[in-house]
Chains A and B, each alone.
Chain A
Amino acid sequence: MDHAEIEKGYVDLDPIFGPGSVAVIGATDKPGKVGHAIMLNYIDVGFSGRIYPVNLNAGSTIMGYRAYRSVLDIGEDIDLAVIAVPADSVPDVLDECGRAHVRGVVVVSGGFAEVGATELQASIVEVAKRYGMPMIGPNCLGVMDVRARNDTLFLPTFKIDRPKVGGVSFVSQSGSVGSTTLDLISGAGFGLSRFISYGNAATIDETDILRYLMHDVHTQVIVLYVEGVKRGRAFIDVAREVTSMKPVVVLKAGTTQAGAAAARSHTAALAGSDEAYDAVFRQYGFVRANDTDELLDFAKIFDTQPLATGSRVAVITNGGGHGILATDALYHNGLELARLSAKARRRLRGAMPGTVNIALPLDIGGDADAQRFEDALDAVGGEPTVDALIVIVLFQTPGADEKVVESIMNFGARREKPMVVVSVGGSYTRSHAAVMESSGIPVYRSASAAARSIAALVRYARYRERVRAEAEAAAVASKH
């Protein structure tokens, strides 16, 4: 790949995400060093490809693997080189990678533009471009591909959980937000496809990565943490394409940054940087999250639930108060409470005890057991006027146990419209929530988190529907 392609076109990151062979440059036997942690991770996560530790001062082996003093000495095809050497040495190491025809590099090392060393950064950009070598970083964690068991992160496996395999790919400009969120994703009820921390984005930036993930069959949902994009117009061009295919949940930091103080016009004084980002996100179909909690909440619903454009939500609960909270949350988020047909009301009347008020939100009582949950789910869930369903299961009640969990999972498996569960509570609740999440039913800690997530799903579904209709209309118009 030449320079021009890196500038404007698709960058193939396959060798970086799913390499058959990896050189760890800066590998060492000394615990505590970055190069040691990276080697250890490759061993721990069970990478199935070939591993080549490289260190200028290497003896014959490093951590039990045959060691090399230079990547040029290996004499085999190298797909990925992970570079963790002091910044000053990176240009030479990178040049050797180029000469060895390494297909992609991750520069973990810091000490470049982020500390003002822009010339040093420019020099590694020059080398990467000269060889047409895709380069992630510098100053980054690199990548994790859960399926390929490829993991360049220098975070020891005992300190950070590794997520299970799934459809969410997570792109983070920040290493620390990236690693902490990754740790949370492991317990968040959805699986990960790819993670990438791209640091200073010296050659490959968020726009390149979005374009790559757009074509990645394993990626169903993209989650993006960004502090600022590098190429605004290119980002927009790629964004409209990718959001018409896959949801992109974005968390943008730096939202309170003061606007230009000395603006000539009122407009410029109002339209600061964050306002501009917000406009772009709204206009081109991003799902904007306000914090990492929302980021995970939204990723979870997009990963597990079908898109739906309708905003009528039914609420079933075994606790009245939480039903009211859920109803409030619906309206706060632009959703509405669904209504039951006469037929459904008759059916519920027959199945529920006389104390249950047959209306939404449907409070089936603190003594509700699995059978009552099942009856309620069947009657309400079958309603054509119900677009989405919130099931509130408070496990503190006597009737709510693993049988209820089973009923909900069985119902969820048959359901073709969005459904989420709200369970508020401690360790007993969390263990049941984890079981439901493992079967693809998102569980939220509050009704408002559930309502916000459904609202995000509906907003995005409507965006998709509109751009699809516009594209169809344009196609018809161009034929005539």
Chain B
Amino acid sequence: MAAWNCRAGQRLGAGDAIAGLVDYKDAEALLSRYGIRTSPSKYVGSAEEAVEFSAGEPIALKVITPRAPHKSRLGLVALGLTGRDITKAFGLVAKRAARYRPYRMLAQRMSKPGIEIILGGNTDPQFGKMVLIGLGGIYVEAFRDFALRVCPISDYDAESMIDQLRSGRIVAHSDRQRAMLSGLIVSVSHMFVESALTELDLNPVILHDDSYDVVDVRLFG
């Protein structure tokens, strides 16, 4: 059974054999066990459910399917929705998603604006698990401003990764944000080392007010 199909509540993590893309809610559950918070979200079956989840706050709708890994490019994401826009967007996105069945619709609380970074993990054929941090969002491929280290990552390593970024002073513009960020890198390393994951993207992670929101998560086993 493909991992993305895992039912909510099924335990994933240390030593579990997971193949392919991990279901979004299961990924959230794994992250939370390492103290990594994600933006509040819920699978919704209808526009009404999405409106109810929104409770007046802006939300995003995202189609979750292993068949369409680059969902924003395919128009499978709608951002900053409130009120009637939610209903309209739900219909539109669901129509586009029809060709990527089976899929699920995720409603997610919008993050505050801030600096977008990517936190990731990859398994190098020679050196094993490695963690990456980079200036994220649309900049990651344009500037290729990222730093990489071999797991397990120490506090020193995490700090040196931030220092290595050309955008280091942007992503860690205060001591508190720097401490928060290096702690987050170390947590990602812990999770990656202790799990059977082989690749992961937390992208984007939005940094604001000395805090962060993990807006999108893709874990691969």
Which residues of A are in contact with B by a Cβ distance under 8 Å? 228-229, 232-233, 236, 263-271, 273, 275-276, 278-280, 282-283, 466, 470
Contact = CB atoms under 8 A, between A and B. Distances in A.
Interface stretch (B83-91, B98-106, B148-156): B148-156
B193 to A, nearest CB: 13
Contacts of A268: 120, 122, 199
B140 A283 contact: no
B140 A270 contact: yes
B61 interface: no
A229 B128 CA distance: 13
B37 interface: no
Given A229-B126, A265-B200, 17 more contacts: A232-B124, A232-B126, A233-B128, A266-B118, A266-B120, A267-B121, A267-B122, A270-B140, A270-B141, A270-B144, A271-B124, A271-B146, A273-B124, A276-B124, A276-B150, A279-B130, A470-B156
Contacts of A470: 156
Interface string B133-148: 0100000110010111
Contacts of A265: 120, 122, 199-201, 218, 220
Given A283-B150, A283-B157, A264 B126 contact: no
Nearest to A228: B126
B189 interface: no
Contacts, number: 85
Contacts of A275: 148
Contacts of B218: 264-265
A273 B126 contact: yes
B202 to A, nearest CB: 9
A33 to B, nearest CB: 38
15 contacts: A232-B124, A232-B127, A265-B120, A265-B201, A266-B118, A266-B141, A267-B120, A267-B201, A270-B132, A271-B148, A273-B124, A276-B124, A283-B150, A283-B157, A466-B156
Contacts of B21: 264
B170 to A, nearest CB: 18
Nearest to A230: B126
B220 to A, nearest CB: 6
A283 B124 CA distance: 15
A271 B200 CA distance: 12
A268 B148 CA distance: 11
B140 A271 contact: no
Contact of A267 (B150, B156, B199): B199
A275 B203 CA distance: 19
Q: Which 4 A-B pairs have the closest CB atoms?
A: A267-B120, A232-B126, A279-B148, A232-B127
A276 B127 CA distance: 7
A266 to B, nearest CB: 5
B45 interface: no
Nearest to B66: A264
Nearest to B133: A267
A228 B126 CA distance: 9
Contacts of B200: 265, 267
B69 interface: yes
B82 interface: no
A173 B130 CA distance: 25
Specify which of B132, B148, B201 lies most central, judged by the most chain A CB atoms within 10 Å of its CB.
Answer: B148
Nearest to A267: B120
Contacts of B126: 228-229, 232, 273, 276
